[in-house]
Amino acid sequence: LKLTTVEEMEAATARLLETGAKVGADAWQLRVKNQTPHCKFGEQGVCCRICAMGPCRITPKAPRGICGCDVHGIVGRNYLKFTAGGAATHSDHGREICHTLYAAQPDGAYKVKDPEKLIRIAKEWGVETEGKDIYDLAHEMAETALMEYGKPFGVQRWLKRAPEHTQKLWHDAEIEPRAIDREVATSLHMTHMGCSSKPEALVRQSLRAGLADGWGGSMCGTEFSDVLFGTPKPIDTEANLGVMNADNVNIVVHGHDPSLSEMVCEYADDPEMIAYAKSMGAKGITVSGVCCTSNEVAMRRGIPMAGNFLQQENVVLTGACEAIVVDVQCIFPALGPLSKCFHTKFITTSPIAQMPDSDYIRFDVGTAAEKAKQIVKIACENFKNRKPDLVYIPDMKQKATVGYSLEALVKTLDGVTNSQVDVTGTTKPLIECITSGVIRGAVAMVGCNNPKIRPDYAHIELMKKLIANDIVVVASGCSAQAAAKAGLMDKAAKDLCGAGLKRVCELADIPPVLHMGSCVDISRMMVLVAELAKDSGLNISQLPVVGCAPEWMSEKAVSIGNYVVATGIDTFLGVDPYVAGSSEMGQWLTEGVRDWVEAAYTVETDIEKLVDKMIDRIEEKRTALGI
């Protein structure tokens, strides 16, 4: 196996930027220069503009805002607001999925593809399934899930999936999330002028809002996406810009909600549409993806991944993108003006993500089929507008096996145990591997790219070192795509592992970096650790497992970090979440929360040190267990 190096990816980007320069295109690389150095107050989180007496910024000479708020209150409020933004975003995505499920019909565009999973969740929730039509059940479950967003009493249903011990910690710390929307609203209430300015209270609510995401809205998103579109199973695909095909109509799906991308894939595969593409002079249609919606369709359909977050402009810069079709989240507004430099149609589809210089084709559940067909047609018709002298697709791609949902992972790992019947269908084979030391532990690698970190470099280098040290990696989001682009999701990457992990990869026929899905699918990782804890009789915090987001950038990532920590998993960040300005906030996040949830953050911007700290933490946990 020859990995694709970050240097090679950068060289390809440089070549694409030359095309960009020819047509007068802007690019994030240039905008970063214009924005550097960043505002120091913003960087440290010490600027407050939540009331119109301000903005106030804290300096040694001006230690308090006009209202008297100190730096810790300001940083703390900013942190909670940031979390609330992320929790709202993931959870609203989950809500959209519930609405899609509510609209599913046996003869409609959206169907129930995994009825077994639906029944399993219904039983878990105590909903009667006997003798019920599966679509009636789907609608009832969708409505029940939607109620989780606004129910006046009680806490999230999904919390019951956690080990008793974890549930008790949440209860005692008063961070069990109530209605999802309530936790977001409460966060915004708390951060309003004249409410909370005590770091402890702000951090507590940050964890609760995070949990409303991970053990609420995101879990709805993941679980009901599986019900609608199928629970992922291992499937082969490819990753990096070379998956685009110069002879074909290239449609790139970008964003997060599979309701759109699934439909686009469905129609791009329709013989009628392929014939239409041919009539326009193309040889066929290639759909590829960027960001999480790409992960969704890669996991379920093997649709190739063109790239991750900071490659979204590259897709257009190939000159071979007929349409970039987006739904919500992580979409650069830059795509509007950039697409105007090429023939590319930039198609926005969601009322939630509307952007200048785009063609807005509003997508909704009722008209999904019709709109998806329209979008595919527009792309086909745009093929003839391509400017051949601008076309350059870097010849760069890697094979990847993706689709390791928890269900798939458990099934796959049954192969590595001495196949005693009683352990199949559980995480016990994985526990055996960990306790015996064949695998030292696991790292959940998640999150975005961020120009503050050399893009993809941290993801790839950390993963290489982890697997070489017999630490298995589960990855999601743009981190997973970085791994796939490099070649780390090729089963042949087993050769980069230590002897123990290599053996497991061979026995189970898996790559050492396992693709668990999109960012909302970090909820899958939460259920995985919950199962590991239950099956091993340990607390989650005792497991030699840590989380890591080395290149994160979005509010969603902070929300995720909060629920991963709150679940009992030490979390390592490569970028500071704008809290450097407050020693008290730093203290709460890196130490204080441990008293409540048995885990905390580590922020380390030196990537070498970051990976060593993770390995040390895993070994410490092993030592504490005497394994």
Q: Which partner in Fe ion, ligand SF4, none is near 62 (CB below 5 to 8 A by kind)?
A: none
Half-sphere exposure at residue 65, Cβ-oriented, CA atoms within 13 angstroms: 23
Smallest distance, ligand SF4 to C-beta of residue 55, A? 6
Cα(277)–Cα(382) distance, integer angstroms: 10
Burial label for 35, CB within 10 Å (0-12, 13-18, 19+), is exposed
Nearer to Fe ion, 73 or 85 (CB): 85
Nearer to Fe ion, 97 or 439 (CB): 97
Binding site for ligand SF4 (CB under 6 A): 48-51, 53-56, 65-67, 69, 74, 193
Q: How many other CB atoms are there within 10 angstroms of residue 236's CB atom? A: 14
Q: Which partner in Fe ion, ligand SF4, none is near 455 (CB below 5 to 8 A by kind)?
A: none
| Contact by Cβ (8 Å): 344, 250 | no
Question: Which residues touch 145 (CB under 8 Å, ≥6 apart)?
Answer: 98, 101, 220, 224
Nearer to ligand SF4, 47 or 297 (CB): 47
Helical pair 71-102 and 555-566, crossing angle rounded to 10 deg: 90
Nearer to ligand SF4, 74 or 443 (CB): 74
Nearer to ligand SF4, 74 or 290 (CB): 74
Residue matched to tokens 């685009």: 244
Q: Which partner in Fe ion, ligand SF4, none is near 292 (CB below 5 to 8 A by kind)?
A: Fe ion
| Contact by Cβ (8 Å): 176, 186 | no
Q: Which partner in Fe ion, ligand SF4, none is near 519 (CB below 5 to 8 A by kind)?
A: Fe ion
Cα(134)–Cα(588) distance, integer angstroms: 47
Element holding 547 (H helix, E strand): strand 545-549
Smallest distance, Fe ion to C-beta of residue 472, A? 22
Smallest distance, ligand SF4 to C-beta of residue 186, A? 18
Question: Which residues touch 61 (CB under 8 Å, ≥6 apart)?
Answer: none
Smallest distance, Fe ion to C-beta of residue 310, A? 13
Nearer to ligand SF4, 51 or 355 (CB): 51
Nearer to ligand SF4, 196 or 339 (CB): 196
Half-sphere exposure at residue 501, Cβ-oriented, CA atoms within 13 angstroms: 27
Q: Which partner in Fe ion, ligand SF4, none is near 302 (CB below 5 to 8 A by kind)?
A: none
Smallest distance, ligand SF4 to C-beta of residue 387, A? 50
Backbone angles phi, psi at 456, to 5 degrees: 75, -20
Smallest distance, ligand SF4 to C-beta of residue 193, A? 4
Cα(451)–Cα(453) distance, integer angstroms: 5
Smallest distance, ligand SF4 to C-beta of residue 74, A? 6
Nearer to ligand SF4, 54 or 498 (CB): 54
Smallest distance, ligand SF4 to C-beta of residue 75, A? 11
- Two tokens at 114? 């995994």
Nearer to ligand SF4, 63 or 131 (CB): 63
- Per the omega criterion (within 30 degrees of 0), is the bond before 55 cis? yes
Binding site for Fe ion (CB under 5 A): 292, 477, 519
Backbone angles phi, psi at 363, to 5 degrees: -105, 130
Nearer to Fe ion, 80 or 519 (CB): 519
Q: Which partner in Fe ion, ligand SF4, none is near 48 (CB below 5 to 8 A by kind)?
A: ligand SF4
Smallest distance, Fe ion to C-beta of residue 520, A? 8
- Pseudo-torsion of CA 422, 426, 431, 433, nearest 10°? 80
Cα(519)–Cα(479) distance, integer angstroms: 10
Nearer to Fe ion, 86 or 577 (CB): 86
Q: Which partner in Fe ion, ligand SF4, none is near 65 (CB below 5 to 8 A by kind)?
A: ligand SF4
Smallest distance, ligand SF4 to C-beta of residue 46, A? 10
Cα(160)–Cα(307) distance, integer angstroms: 36
Helix, strand, coil percent content, the chain, rounded in steps of 5: 55, 10, 35
| Contact by Cβ (8 Å): 502, 524 | no
Q: Which partner in Fe ion, ligand SF4, none is near 468 (CB below 5 to 8 A by kind)?
A: none
Smallest distance, ligand SF4 to C-beta of residue 66, A? 4
User: Where would I find the H helices in 269-405?
Assistant: 271-279, 291-301, 312-317, 335-340, 368-382
Q: Which partner in ligand SF4, Fe ion, none is near 67 (CB below 5 to 8 A by kind)?
A: ligand SF4
Strands 323-326 and 285-290: unpaired
Q: Which partner in Fe ion, ligand SF4, none is near 171 (CB below 5 to 8 A by kind)?
A: none
Cα(438)–Cα(500) distance, integer angstroms: 4
Q: Which partner in ligand SF4, Fe ion, none is near 66 (CB below 5 to 8 A by kind)?
A: ligand SF4
